[in-house]
Chains A and B, each alone.
Chain A
Amino acid sequence: MKKIIYLSFLALCGASFGQNIPFRHLGSPFNQTNVDLVWAAPTNNLPRELWVYRAWPASVSTDTISNLVALGSFTDRDRKKSPDNPHLISYADPTDKRGLLINTDWAFIHYSDADANDMHVTNGVPGKQQAFEMATTWLPKLGVDSRQLYRNPQGATIKVYGGPDTVFFYAREGKGSALATNICMYDVTFKRALDGVEISGGSARGGCTVEFGHHARISSIIVSWRNYKRDKLYSVPTPEILLKWIREGKAVWYSPDFDVFDWSSIKKIVITKITPYYYSDAYGMNDNPQNWASPFAELEAKIEINQTNAIFYLDCPIIGETKP
């Protein structure tokens, strides 16, 4: 009997560990327990099992550090002292226009050059293809393993995010149409994936962003490449269990179109798509980081409002019991 209780306790600990995602950051609590939830989402491509990853101390190669120091033309005099944290490497030029922070323990990099991005200067700002090619050449220089980048579901090509920084100028009184439009920077972002599942959020949570300003100068780099290793394997629950969890209030919701909504008039919600993501901390946001990456599900849902369909999203846990 003692053994049974012990094993049950372990299972509970495993589930709560993996599901301890701060969902409050992902959306508002979904407390509609009486609504009719219908599952119509294909699950053919949904993994049957997912790992929870634990972060271990990482490293940043001397080559990567050298590449970034050279990019910013930093000298030894620009280096900031950090005797209390040997994992931090920090440079700033005397005018604070260019700066670099590397945390080797997190494999986190942030480089910025304020002079490389000027909303009034568009000469030499690369277009989509040129920016992609230049960013791609920087991946190995930054220690990014392109094999772990998130790829398009339909093929083997790397998924590329980002786009132009477009500035619209108006007369000082701010009335009427824009007088001019400038593209002053182009952003190329790659996201990291774990077992093919994308890490949610911006590249500071897992991925790499390189931004190019005028004359193709790099205006910003962000790399987040924690040393994640598989920790525990979990089964992915059936749709019935996911619906049960939603009814139990374990999900949060958000919509790109409405932030406040009266759910009382909604009788039926149809789940049309499920996409797994990993939740991962970002460096510097929390004094007590969780040091793991755990999967969750994004459910695309359809509701009918005034005879038209509206789409919103539910984020909920996706891992069930620990696998042996």
Chain B
Amino acid sequence: MQRGTWQSGFIKANGDLHASDLRKASFNGGNVFNTTNVSLGLLALHGAYGTSQDYTTGANGANQIYFPIDGRPTSNPSWVRMSEMDLGSAGTNGLKWMGLMACNSLRQQNWNSMQSAGWKPFNGNLHLLLGANSVVDDGNLIIWAKYMLGLDLNPKETIYNAWRDSASFCVHRPVQFAIAGFDDCKQDMLTGTNSYTPQGNVFYDALPVAQ
């Protein structure tokens, strides 16, 4: 992304990332992606999906998706529930696109359960949430960036299509990416739509399995 003249807003690696960084304010969290003037966020970590209903506050009995946070050495290992997230922030410099590079980060059955329970992990400011409906590896990330930016003479693609096409570069098999968001933001490029507030309906796209 730096080659495309994008600046890094912040990087939190390993023990620097705490569960509270990802939680929204109502869960005593810092919601760090929303509050640090980043338009494009990427969270790369492990993910796990629940197979039973979670009745903690805010989860409304949905089958959750969980993100383990090591936290050591400064704090204890913990989990962040997807219901504790509230991705998206207003304004030109607010969070508009978020990649969750974690296994099953947008698992379809759990997404359906969240919908039934009446919540989603993003607000009306986030345009697209990019994740996976399967086990994934991070083999796609460099290509995702190159396709979004059109680097190295690659065709410049929408954020959506760049995520989709980059799945073919993963080394795992099979890999299925998924994207959720507002349907009027599917054609978003990296520039030109930061200040737009989504007006459309919510969608969930289970992309074809990349083998």
Contact = CB atoms under 8 A, between A and B. Distances in A.
A-B pairs, top 7 by smallest CB distance, nearest first, are A99-B155, A202-B168, A187-B208, A161-B211, A90-B153, A201-B171, A204-B168
Interface of B: 46-48, 68, 102-104, 115-116, 118-120, 134-135, 137-139, 142-143, 146, 150, 152-158, 161, 164-165, 167-175, 182-183, 186-187, 189, 200-211
B156 to A, nearest CB: 5
30 contacts: A88-B152, A101-B155, A112-B155, A112-B161, A117-B161, A161-B174, A162-B208, A167-B203, A167-B204, A167-B205, A168-B205, A169-B183, A170-B115, A172-B201, A172-B202, A178-B115, A191-B211, A201-B139, A201-B171, A201-B173, A202-B169, A202-B173, A202-B211, A204-B143, A220-B164, A220-B165, A255-B135, A259-B135, A282-B139, A282-B143
B122 to A, nearest CB: 9
Interface string A97-124: 0111100000000111010010110000
Interface in A42-96: 80, 82, 85, 88, 90, 92, 96
Contacts of B204: 167-168, 170, 178
A205 B119 CA distance: 38
A165 interface: yes
A237 B203 CA distance: 49
Contact of B168 (A100, A164, A209): A209
A324 interface: no
Contacts of A284: 142-143, 146, 152, 154
A185 B186 CA distance: 14
Given A161-B211, A285-B139, A172 B200 contact: yes
Given A25-B139, A167-B203, 12 more contacts: A26-B171, A80-B153, A92-B156, A119-B205, A171-B202, A185-B208, A189-B210, A201-B172, A202-B169, A205-B169, A260-B48, A284-B154
B120 A174 contact: yes
Choose among B102, B118, B139, B211 the residue with the greatest number of A CB atoms under 10 Å from its CB. Answer: B211
B137 A26 contact: yes
A161 B207 contact: no
Nearest to B172: A201
Contacts of A176: 115-116, 118
Nearest to A184: B205
A285 B142 contact: yes
A177 interface: yes
Contact of B104 (A110, A164, A173, A259): A259
A305 interface: no
A112 B160 CA distance: 12
A48 B137 CA distance: 30
B168 A203 contact: yes
A112 B201 CA distance: 26
Contacts of A263: none
Contacts of B183: 119-120, 169
Nearest to B176: A163
B118 A162 contact: no
A316 interface: no
B155 A110 contact: yes
Given A167-B205, A175-B118, A260-B48, A88 B171 contact: no
A200 B171 contact: yes
Contacts of B171: 25-26, 200-202, 205, 279
A254 B135 contact: yes
Choose among A100, A177, A205, A285 the residue with the greatest number of B CB atoms under 10 Å from its CB. Answer: A285
A101 B165 contact: no
Contact of A169 (B119, B146, B202): B202
A202 B202 contact: no
A5 interface: no
Contacts of A170: 115, 201-204
A203 B100 CA distance: 22
A260 B157 contact: no
A294 to B, nearest CB: 12
B99 to A, nearest CB: 17
Contacts of B154: 90, 99, 101, 110, 284
Nearest to B179: A167
Nearest to A180: B201
A162 B200 contact: no
A86 B30 CA distance: 49
A319 B118 CA distance: 52
A256 interface: yes
Contacts of B116: 176-177
B135 A165 contact: no
B211 A203 contact: yes
A274 B56 CA distance: 42
Contacts of B46: 259-260
Contacts of A100: 155
Nearest to A279: B171
Contacts of A186: 208
